[in-house]
Chains A and B, each alone.
Chain A
């Protein structure tokens, strides 16, 4: 019945949301990073999600006329937020520019926390779906058992 493919959809969801959590955690951790190995302050990063079909297996697709409906998700890229850096006047700061301003990352902690919460919630929803499938499969084996 293409049982493995049933888990793959939500497994891809787990993976994608986990990457999203990592990226936003990274943003929060670097909220005051005025310098990076590449030079300049840390730039806020975001994940880009895209729907991706999951192969349901030949037998399942033949079984009824609905075709392959399983759609997972993947992170296609991690992009950098192009918005402007925060400017703070502090001529004594080691990373201060010639005008005395220091450039800080373009990260708003509240916005990052909201993203983290959303990602967490979506992650848990995917877990619920997997547990539900697992229970259904377990119950299938109990047909006819006394």
Chain B
């Protein structure tokens, strides 16, 4: 049982890293809505999340073996810079796009938190009933 808890925490930590990173990128894009020459940045969220899905499948012959750790899943190469020339001053940040991504990201965060919360509560209930 604790083996599955470790996997949950690992996946949770990786997903959170991705959500937080994306949030920083969106924040930066919004702060630089009008900065000449600034190009908007993002991560390919589906790619990053699905690669963290694979980490759940790591086989361990002994529950004391370490699973995938959360660090190292996100690389500099995951950050995509939007190459569009954009407006005359060189800025290509689209305010509507960023606001949409902000909402998406918030929902994504909620989802992860809910998932972890339920798992934790489940564990807590199981422990209490075992008394």
A contacts, CB < 8 Å to B: 1, 6, 9-10, 12-13, 16-17, 20, 49-51, 56, 62-67, 69-73, 118-119, 121-122, 125-126, 128-129, 132-133, 135-136, 139-140, 142-146
Contacts and interface: CB of A to CB of B under 8 A. Distances in A.
B35 interface: yes
Interface in B93-112: 95, 98-99, 102-103, 105-106, 109-110
B23 interface: yes
A139 B26 contact: no
Dominant SS at the B interface?
helix
- Give the residue among B30, B117, B124 with the most A Cβ atoms within 10 A: B30
A140 B113 contact: yes
B20 interface: yes
Given A65-B74, A67-B76, A121-B95, A139 B109 contact: yes
B32 A125 contact: no
A12 B71 contact: no
22 contacts: A9-B24, A9-B28, A17-B34, A63-B17, A63-B71, A64-B71, A64-B72, A65-B71, A65-B74, A65-B76, A69-B24, A71-B31, A72-B28, A72-B32, A119-B34, A125-B98, A126-B30, A126-B31, A128-B102, A129-B31, A132-B103, A136-B109
